[in-house]
Amino acid sequence: MRTNRRKFIGSALAGGVAATWAGSCGASEGKRTDYARLDEILKKPVLKKELFARPVIIKSLELLRYRGSFLCRVRSSDGAEGISVGHSGMSYLYPIFTHTLQPFFIDKDARELDLLLEKVYIYNLNFRLSGLALGIPLATIEFAILDMLGRIAGMSMGELIGEIHHPRVAVYQATEYREKPVEESVELIKRDVARYNAHAVKIKVGGLMFMTKDINAVGPKGRTERMIPLIRKTFGDKMVLYADANGFYSVDEAIRVGRLLEEYGYGFFEEPVLFDWYEETKEVADELRIPVAGGEQEYSLHGFRWLIANDGLGIVQPDNYYFGGMIRSMKVARMAQAFGKSCTPHMSGGGLGYLYMIHFVSALANASAHHEFKGLNTDVQFECKTSPLSVVDGKIKVPTGPGLGIEIDRDFINKHEAVKG
């Protein structure tokens, strides 16, 4: 039976329910306080500008291409140089680099990188391109600038954006094989883990959206229900296990699968529902004990702000390339830290994606126990004098040289030509 608002308020006051009403108002006030706290964190600069006494004016910014390889080269007016390795997505995103990003950075002071990364979203209305379309070329530029600044200061990328907490980064072996039969998948996962002596592994659960017409489906022929216990049985109780649904499930199915993951001691459940289903992500997180992880597809600082303040995620996973670089990703990690949450960045494709990942993680105060790793294969020719860049006892030593900590072979660079227009 419905009651009009006036009668409800009158009966509430008469029945002593006013305290409950006031409590809900207090909760709203508490949420505003949470947001204000996160906003203060977002205002704090990440790059250590104080390391540079003089302006570092960006004189030139080039995108270089050789077949399927992309490099970004930045030079200052004083002759300092930095180079980054582009993501594979640059093969179709390079016009965004040349048309909407490159002109903005010319003649700017690289010491103001925090502010530049904010203003470039407004320049030419770039915010309309938000997502990996803008993030990948922007990160490629940021990485080159950080490499240049690191060389000027004689510091690694991690030292430019934080304190070094993890000189060696523990990795988890990220696996795919979602479309293969269970037994074949397990053998391939065993091979990958053995190749790099990983102490943790992440498997895929569910399906992908193009593999089924029904998002409420359990997955291809009950594959998930077989994989979850079999992987635990295969690797034993000491192996750390994670699972990724890539947004496949509905809320109810995600909760059901999440409870199965809990039963077999998995460490986190990544993207149980579509990434931009914020309220549904929180619904899943509220029902499960296993931490819900996410952020690979997230493109907005404001989106992460909501997910953190509302306990939608227990673990944040910004992708350094997709999200537009290390500085924006570090802002996400700082927000998470303030609310007792950890960060393990997603690692997407790229000639040296793992190297940018470990530099970022090296400076994370709230780094998770393990971080995504997909192998050391690359066509980039380079030398690293401060790290073997191999997985030893489940960890990779972070280079300590300036900037990215490597020297890309000059002959390899010279094969590349500037991309025009």
Residue ranges and CATH numbers for the domains of the chain are: 49-154+410-418 (3.30.390.10), 159-408 (3.20.20.120)
Amino acid found at 254: A
The predicted structure's pLDDT at residue 6? 36
Q: Is 12 helix (H, G, I), strand (E, B) or coil?
A: helix
CA angle in degrees (0–180, nearest 5) for 41-44-45: 140
Which residues are 173's β-sheet partners? 201, 373
Closest CA relative to residue 80, chosen from 26, 153, 156: 153
**Which residues in the chain show pLDDT less than 50?**
1-24, 211, 214-218
Q: Are strands 382-383 and 407-408 parallel, antiparallel or unpaired?
A: antiparallel
> What are the C-alpha distances in Å from 138 to residues 135, 251, 275, 304, 406?
5, 34, 22, 19, 21
Q: What pTM does this model have?
A: 0.91
Tokens of 183: 């037994």
> What are the C-alpha distances in Å from 99 to residues 62, 68, 94, 105, 191?
12, 20, 9, 12, 44
Asked if 82 and 151 touch (Cβ cutoff 8 Å), the reply is yes
Closest CA relative to residue 294, chosen from 276, 279, 310: 276
Tokens of 4: 């009009």
Instruction: For the sheet with 58-66, list strands across it.
Output: 81-85, 69-76, 58-66, 417-418
